Amino acid sequence: MTRRKQAAPDKITAPVKAGLVKPMTARATTPEPVDAATLAEIFARLSAANPEPRSDLEYLNPYTLLVAVVLSAQATDRSVNLATAPLFARADNPAAMLALGEETVRHHIRTIGLFNTKAKNVIALSRILIEEHGGEVPRAREHLEVLPGVGKKTASVVLNVAFGEPTIAVDTHIFRVSNRIPLAPGSTTDKVQAGLEAIVPEPYRLNAHHWLILHGRYVCKARKPECWRCPIPDLCRYPDKTPGPA
Ligand code: SF4
C-alpha cells in the first residue's frame, strides 16, 4: 500500500535562514572535519562524561516511544513528558489508544504544538500498527517511515532507542554540533546523518545520537555555546567559541 505524506517544513535549517545560527555551508569559513584520532577522543570524552546516556523523552515501551517522538516535533521534550504521563497511564498500546479515541488524545496533548494534527496521526498510526503489524512497532525502517507523522528522523530514533540499531537521527542540535566542531559538516540533515554514520567509531555508534543531542541541548547551545564548560574545547575547531559565562 502506498501512502502519501506531506513534506515537513525544514525547521532544522530554518534558524540559519532566520539569522539565529551562523550558516555552515561556506567552505571558506568552515574548518576541515576532525581526523579519526580526534574523533575517537571526542567520543571517549563525551562517553566518560555520560557513560549511559538516555533520551529526555519518557516512555514505557517501543510503542510509547514512537508516540512520544511523534509528539516531540516542534515541541520540547519536557512539554511532551507532561502530556504523555497521564496519556500513557491510560493507553500504552495501540488498541488502548484507539479505544481512547482521537478527541480524548487531543485533549491530553492540547498543550503541545500542532496537537490537532498529532492527535490524528497518533490514532492513524495506532490503527496501522494493529491492522498491518499485529499491534507491534515494526523494526524495519521502510515500515516505520510510512506511518503518519513519522519521518526519517523519528524512524531513526525508534530504531536506535527501542531496537539498539546504531542510527544517528539528526535533529537541530546534532546538525549544529556536527557542523561546528566539525564532525561531519553538511548543509542538510540527510548529509550530516550519512556523514556521521560513516565516521563514528564502532564502539560509540549506539550512543552517539544521545551524546551529540545532549551536548547540543545543554552545552553547545545555539545562540551561545557554553565552551567554558565543554569537555572538548581543545578538539573543537569552531572559530567563535564563547570564552566565559560573563
Ligand atoms: S568548544 Fe564550544 S563550540 Fe566547540 S563543541 Fe564545545 S561548546 Fe560547542
Distance CA 221, CA 102 (A): 36
Predicted confidence at residue 2, as pLDDT, reads 41
Residue 96 sits in the same domain as residue 135: yes
Q: What is the pLDDT of residues 79-112, one digit of tens each?
A: 999 999 999 999 999 999 999 999 999 999 999 9
What CATH number does residue 213 fall under? 1.10.1670.10
Question: Over pLDDT 90: what percentage of the chain?
Answer: 83
Which letter, b or e, does each residue of 146-182 get, where b requires 16 or more Cβ atoms within 10 Å of its Cβ? bbbbbbbbbbbbbbbbbeeeebbbbbbbbbbbbbbbb
Confidence check: pLDDT of 159 > 80? yes
Residue 89 sits in the same domain as residue 143: yes
Compute the distance from residue 227 Cα to the ligand 1 centre, in Å: 5
Number of the ligand 1 atom closest to the C-alpha atom of 231: 6
Compute the distance from residue 155 Cα to the ligand 1 centre, in Å: 28
Distance CA 155, CA 149 (A): 10
Compute the distance from residue 43 Cα to the ligand 1 centre, in Å: 14
Q: What is the pLDDT of residues 106-138, one digit of tens each?
A: 999 999 999 999 999 999 999 999 999 999 999
Residue 19 sits in the same domain as residue 79: no
Reported as a pLDDT band with limits 50, 70 and 90, residue 25 is very low
| Domain containing residue 119 | 62-152
Residue 153 catalytic? Answer: yes
Residue 37 sits in the same domain as residue 96: no
Residue 182 sits in the same domain as residue 136: no
Residue 128 is placed in which grid cell? 496501522
Reported as a pLDDT band with limits 50, 70 and 90, residue 30 is low
- Does residue 16 line the site of ligand 1, with CB under 6 A? no
Predicted confidence at residue 9, as pLDDT, reads 43
- Does residue 42 line the site of ligand 1, with CB under 6 A? no
Distance CA 114, CA 233 (A): 38
Q: Quick one: DSSP state of residue 34?
A: P
Number of the ligand 1 atom closest to the C-alpha atom of 230: 6
Which residue, by CA, sits nearest to atom 1 of ligand 1? 233
**Which range, of 25-29, 135-139, 230-234, averages the lowest pLDDT?**
25-29
Confidence check: pLDDT of 67 > 70? yes
Q: What is the DSSP string of 78-133?
A: HHHHHHHHHHHHH-SSHHHHHHH-HHHHHHHTTTSTTHHHHHHHHHHHHHHHHHHH
Residue 79 sits in the same domain as residue 119: yes
Confidence check: pLDDT of 26 > 50? no
What CATH number does residue 97 fall under? 1.10.340.30
- What is the pTM (predicted TM-score) of this model? 0.84
- Does residue 200 line the site of ligand 1, with CB under 6 A? no
Q: What is the pLDDT of residues 178-220, one digit of tens each?
A: 999 999 999 999 999 999 999 999 999 999 999 999 999 999 9
Q: Residue ranges for the binding site for [4Fe-4S] cluster? A: 220, 227, 230, 236
Confidence check: pLDDT of 22 > 80? no
Predicted confidence at residue 90, as pLDDT, reads 98
| Count of domains for the chain | 2
Residue of 152, 153, 221, 224 marked active site: 153
Predicted confidence at residue 245, as pLDDT, reads 86
Confidence check: pLDDT of 227 > 70? yes
Helix, strand, or coil (residue 30): coil
Q: How far is CA 230 from CA 49, 224, 225, in A?
A: 10, 12, 9
Residue of 22, 56, 120, 171 marked active site: 171
- Does residue 21 line the site of ligand 1, with CB under 6 A? no
